[in-house]
Amino acid sequence: MAELLRTKARKPQYCSLGPVAFLLIMIFLVFVGEAAGKPISLPGVTLPRYSVFQGHLPIRMVYPQPKVLKPSRKDVLVLTPWLAPIVWEGTFNIDILNEQFRAQNVTIGLTVFAIKKYVVFLKLLLETAEEHFMVGHEVNYYVFTDRPAAVPRVALRGGRRPLVLEVPGAARWQDVSMRRLGMISSFCAQRFLHEVDFLVCTDVDMRFRDHVGVEILSPRVATLHPGFFRAARRAFTYERRPQSRAHIPRDQGDFYYSGAFFGGSVAEVQRLTAACHRAIEAAWHDESHLNRYLLDHKPTEVLSPEYMWDERLLGWPAVMEKLRCVAVPKDHREIRHR
């Protein structure tokens, strides 16, 4: 025993360099990966891709602590029965969301149809989008039009580009309304899946008036129709003919969604538009089919009417703390029939 103790006492003591070496290798690879703008993966370890906008590690953010017993809004519904958020002013922190989406380096596509005389609304929409829509993120503006020469030139921020997609016109505005879903579906397969991460689809006769950002990005997004967000389901203008694929019985329905502003991941938008355009003309055209689809395939996020409003017809009620996207006044007969 004494000899054993003497042997242990004489045994040299080593300091393991394994953890230190591993840490130094990780730090080295972080800086190499940062220079390449790519995430770094080691066995059992994943290091995040850092913000290409910041050029350094994510900043340490300081913001008010969420209060479990203090709801963000008490005057409106902020969560659907299937646990999808309903987005109102005061329900999100855009700084947190921006950091998360910038780290993912997302690109957003905005689709708009400027057919026939509707091309006159395009300049205002694009100019206000540059001021309020997805500021700080990369955006592709997909302009579907039968008049490419009439598409206006608008000064754009870096990382944002207009892409004109020439499509045939139509004799009736109803045909444009129905056919646009088929066109969006086709272009999702042809190019959108390869060019952007999310799609937002809006009418051209609108203008952005306040912030519209990454808080609206989710796999399947719908917007509450401004004319029906207070109404009972029996008042919704769903398609009521049983022979129509868009038919919704009077005892069914969650909300009435607007066909003028919807979106989601490209894959989800492709599924939605493909399902909606193969149908007979319904009471409210593509909007009727959109509502049928979203009854069966619930939105993962619902936008409040802040994101689609008509101040001229509806005023500015107190529940609307902001009006983010609003209708442009127009003469429907003049625009639609020429």
Q: What is the pLDDT of residues 57-104, one digit of tens each?
A: 456 788 899 999 999 999 999 999 999 999 999 999 999 999 999 999
pLDDT of residue 27: 53
Tokens of 282: 């319904």
Predicted pLDDT of residue 50: 34
Q: Are 211 and 94 in contact (CB under 8 A)?
A: yes
Please calculate the CA angle 320-72-206 and round it to the nearest 5 degrees: 30
Report CA-CA distances (Å) from 176 to 128, 181, 203, 232, 294. Answer: 24, 9, 11, 30, 21
Mean pLDDT of 245-249: 91
Q: Does residue 192 surpass a pLDDT of 80?
A: yes
Residue 106, C-beta contacts closer than 8 angstroms, at least 6 positions apart: 137, 138, 197, 198, 214, 217
- For the ranges 175-184, 238-247, 315-324, the maximum mean pLDDT occurs at 315-324
> Which of 61, 89, 63 has the alpha carbon at shortest distance from 212?
89
Q: Please name every residue paired with 85 in a beta bridge, in sequence order, or none if there are none.
A: 79
* Half-sphere exposure in the Cβ direction for 207 (13 Å, CA): 12
What is the pLDDT, as a whole number, of residue 276?
Answer: 81
The pLDDT of residue 49: 36
Task: Identify the DSSP state of 313.
Answer: H
pLDDT tens by residue, 22-31: 555 555 544 5
Mean pLDDT of 21-49: 44
Active-site amino acid positions? 287
Quote the pLDDT of residue 179.
82
Distance CA 287, CA 173 (A): 14
Asked if pLDDT for residue 237 goes beyond 50, the answer is yes
Identify the pLDDT of residue 61.
83
Alpha carbons 295 and 318: distance in angstroms, whole number:
29
Q: Cα torsion at 75, 296, 239, 185 (round to 10°)?
A: 110
Range with lowest mean pLDDT among 38-42, 195-199, 228-232:
38-42
Which pLDDT does position 280 carry in this prediction?
53
pLDDT given at position 13: 45
| pTM listed for this prediction | 0.80
> Any idea which of 42-56, 114-128, 297-311 has the lowest mean pLDDT?
42-56
3-state DSSP call for residue 215?
A: helix
Rg for the chain, CA atoms, rounded: 26
In the prediction, which pLDDT does 244 show? Answer: 86
- Residue with tokens 């350094």, as numbered in its chain: 56
Q: Is the pLDDT of residue 169 over 90?
A: no
Place of tokens 């519209």: 212
213: left (phi over 0), alpha (psi -120 to 50) or beta: beta
Q: How far is CA 104 from the centre of its chain?
A: 14
> What average pLDDT does range 26-37 have in this prediction?
47
* Rounded-to-integer distance, Cα 204 and Cα 211, Å: 18
Question: What pLDDT score was predicted for residue 249?
Answer: 95
* Mean pLDDT, the chain, whole residue set: 84
Question: Which range is least confidently modeled, 19-28, 49-58, 126-135, 153-162?
Answer: 49-58
> pLDDT category, 180, cuts 50, 70, 90?
confident
Which run of H or E residues covers position 102? helix 94-104
Sign of CA dihedral 198, 201, 207, 212: negative
